[in-house]
Every structure is written in C-alpha cells, then in structure tokens.
Amino acid sequence: MIGTGTLVLKAPAKINFGLDILHRREDGYHELKTMLVPISLADTLRIQIAAREQFSCSDTTLPQDAGNLVIRALRLFEESSGIATSLNIHLEKRIPTGAGLGGGSSDAAALLRGVNQLYGKPLSRDELLELAALLGSDIPFFLYDCPCYATGRGEMLVPTLFPSLPGLIVFPGFPVSTAIAYQAVDLSLTSGSRFVSLKGFQRSDLASAGWRDDISNDFESVIFRLHPELGDLKKKLYDSGAGYVSLSGSGSAVYALYESRQIGDEARLMIPANWSVFSIETLLHGTGLPREI
Ligand code: C5P
C-alpha cells in the first residue's frame, strides 16, 4: 500500500558531548566513544510522490544530483525494498556543511524515514538502521532521534538522557573534512572521557564545572592546532559564562552550553561578525515525532 500526500520532515543537527578515539580498525574506521545529542537547529526535507523524480536543494554548493547523500539514501532504499520510487524532493539547508553537526547524515536519515512511510513501511526499523549504517557512521543515530551513547564507529547506540539546555553553535565559515581530521589525530595523545561520571547528570551540574574536566573531544588538539582561532573562541566562550564548550565532532563548529538563555545571548556579541551563530537547545526528540521510525 502506498501512503498519500506530502511529508515535511525535520532533520535536526547533533552535537558530540565528548569524543574519545580509541584506535584505528582494520577496516580503516576508528573505534570511538561519544555521546550524540540532537539539537534544535534543523534542515527541512519535503518529499512527495510525483510523476517523475525531481530533486532540489537550497544550498547550490551541494550536489543537486545522485551525489547528494539524500539521493544515495533513496537509491539504497529502492535496492533494499525492490520499490521503484518517483518523488519530488526538496531539501532546505540550515545546518552548515562540514561543521561536525551531522547535517548530511540527518538529511539522509529523514529521507529513509520519510520514503519508508510514504510507501507503506516496507522496511522494518532494523532494516532501516542497517541501510543507515551502510550510508554513514552517524546516520543510525538520527533514526534513533534521541540522545545516545555511541560506540563502534558511531553506529552502536544506547539511548540515554541529556538535560535540555540552551546554547550557541558557532560556525567559522570554513569546513573540516572528517576523513582528514581522523588521519591527523595523534592516537597516542587521546584523553579518555569519564562518560561513566555522567550517570544521572543534570542541568545544575553545568555550574560545578565537572563536565569541563571529565568530558573532552580528542579532535580538539589537532583542529585547534590547524585553526588557532577556534581554540581562542573556546576560551572566550568560557570567559563569557558558558558551562561547557567544545568542538562538535571533527569541527569546524564549536558549541557552548549555558545554564540560562540570557548568558548565551550576551556571548553572541563577542563572536566575529562574519561567522555564523545559531541559538540552539539540546533536545530529547530531534524531529518532534514519536520515537518509532
Ligand atoms: O561514516 P562516514 O562516511 O560519516 O565517515 C566519514 C569518514 O570519516 C570515513 O570515510 C572515515 O575516513 C572517517 N571515520 C573514521 N572512523 C569513524 C567514523 C568516520 O575513521 N568512526
């Protein structure tokens, strides 16, 4: 049975709260431990059954064809389900690309969720998760759609709680390649976040500065060496009263979490005018949809 109408799907960004790179695996990926948290900054994906396939994307610097991760996800869905789809798809981008915020991965997850719904759910939740992992390491997380503790190459997930906090995302205007960042990390220097200390942690823990000492991102040393202005930004955001500041993933975006929205708004003033700043919140459900895929 084919579903009807148009679906408008929210594709939220994520931040990494701590990221430990453990070792390089035989398959070339890196084994890691991280906490992935959905945030309110989001792209929008509109999909509609149509007479012929059409794809457009508001960001014309991204592939407008089969090279776009959204279309790669669609082809994989077709292969796996045996359904020849015909969709009109529009992607409205807000999440900066190459920022470590998972924008492309979230768009692909939204496509998988949406097309499966439009065509009457031919694939199970587990089948969708398998396709997601084939497409990219953090795409399964966006199908879970809630804060998760992630291991493996980022695809092994355990849902967890994370307090709802206001924050800022700062994007310096240039991207970082995740693959190159992994190659550049010195694996002998990685730190080891104490994720275990996060059991039951709450908004009020921000004030205690405990997170600052316990939870770190192993990409920071290499990325801050290549781009010292990002390390300076981190210091300034702490000086401005942030409770926790970190690079997200392999960057280039840096995020700051605050106890109150007001402190974050004041901090915006010291960020270079040509960088992008987004006010965000950490979320328990990124898409606002029920948890079921
Ligand atoms: O899986 P995804 O396509 O998002 O990863 C992009 C690149 O980042 C991979 O090609 C790989 O070089 C690197 N990567 C890694 N270890 C991970 C995740 C990604 O080395 N756990």
**Which backbone phi and psi does 56 adopt, to 5 degrees?**
-140, 155
**Which backbone phi and psi does 89 adopt, to 5 degrees?**
-125, 130
The alpha carbon of 138 and the centre of ligand 1 are apart by a number of angstroms equal to 9
Q: CB–CB of 175/99 below 8 Å?
A: yes
Q: Other C-beta atoms within 10 Å of 107: how many?
A: 28
Count of alpha carbons within 13 Å of 2, Cβ hemisphere only? 11
* Non-local CB neighbours of 67 within 8 Å, separated by 6+ positions: none
Q: CB–CB of 203/163 below 8 Å?
A: yes
pLDDT digits (tens, 9 = 90+) for 203-223: 667 766 678 878 899 999 999
3-class DSSP assignment, residue 158? strand
Q: Which atom of ligand 1 is nearest to the CA of 105?
A: 4
**Measured between alpha carbons, how far is 43 from 12 in angstroms, rounded to an integer?**
6
Active site amino acids = 14, 138
Q: Whose structure tokens read 């849902």? A: 159
Helices (H), 100-227: 103-118, 125-135, 139-144, 178-184, 210-214, 220-226
Q: Which atom of ligand 1 is nearest to the CA of 182?
A: 20
Q: CB–CB of 33/150 below 8 Å?
A: yes
Q: Is the shortest distance between the CB of 142 and ligand 1 below 6 Å?
A: no
- Give the residue, 287 or 83, on which the prediction is more confident: 83
Q: Is the shortest distance between the CB of 30 and ligand 1 below 6 Å?
A: yes
pLDDT digits (tens, 9 = 90+) for 59-73: 999 988 888 999 999
**Measured between alpha carbons, how far is 140 from 156 in angstroms, rounded to an integer?**
8
Question: Closest Cα to residue 255, out of 119, 109, 96?
Answer: 96
Question: Closest Cα to residue 249, out of 3, 14, 7?
Answer: 14
Residues constituting the chain: 293
- Protein residue whose Cα sits closest to atom 20 of ligand 1: 29
Q: Is the shortest distance between the CB of 32 and ligand 1 below 6 Å?
A: yes
Q: CB–CB of 260/238 below 8 Å?
A: no
pTM of the complete model: 0.93
Query: Terminus-to-terminus CA distance in the chain, angstroms?
Result: 18
Domains of the chain: 6-159 (3.30.230.10), 166-281 (3.30.70.890)
Confidence of residue 287 (pLDDT cuts 50, 70, 90): confident
Q: Is the shortest distance between the CB of 154 and ligand 1 below 6 Å?
A: yes
pLDDT digits (tens, 9 = 90+) for 121-178: 999 999 999 999 999 999 999 999 999 999 999 999 999 989 999 999 999 999 999 9
The alpha carbon of 86 and the centre of ligand 1 are apart by a number of angstroms equal to 31
- Give the residue, 29 or 66, on which the prediction is more confident: 29
Q: Is the shortest distance between the CB of 207 and ligand 1 below 6 Å?
A: no
Q: Which atom of ligand 1 is nearest to the CA of 21?
A: 21
Q: Is the shortest distance between the CB of 137 and ligand 1 below 6 Å?
A: yes
**Measured between alpha carbons, how far is 246 from 41 in angstroms, rounded to an integer?**
17
The alpha carbon of 179 and the centre of ligand 1 are apart by a number of angstroms equal to 6
**Measured between alpha carbons, how far is 244 from 221 in angstroms, rounded to an integer?**
17
